[in-house]
Amino acid sequence: MASLDIPALFSAAAEILVREDQCISIEYSAGVVSIRFPTTRRLARYLDVPHYYVLPVFSMMEEQHLVKREERVGISTTGAGTLLFLETVRDAMPNEATGLLGEGTIDSIVAKISSVQPPS
Catalogue the long-range contacts made by 114-117 (C-beta closer than 8 Å, 24 or more residues apart). Answer: 116/31, 116/32, 116/79, 117/31, 117/79, 117/80
Q: pTM of the predicted model, to two decimals?
A: 0.89
> Letter for the amino acid at 37?
F
**pLDDT value of position 72:** 82
Domains of the chain: 6-114 (1.10.10)
Q: How far apart, in whole angstroms, are the C-alpha atoms of residue 86 and residue 82?
A: 6
Express each pLDDT in 62-109 by its tens digit: 999 999 998 888 999 999 999 999 999 999 999 999 999 999 999 989
Q: Are 84 and 66 in contact (CB under 8 A)?
A: yes
Checking if the pLDDT of 118 tops 90, the result is no
SS3 content of the chain, % helix, strand, coil (to 5): 60, 15, 25
Checking if the pLDDT of 120 tops 70, the result is no
Q: Which residues pair with 74 in a beta bridge?
A: 70
Cα pseudo-dihedral 75, 79, 80, 84, rounded to 10: 70
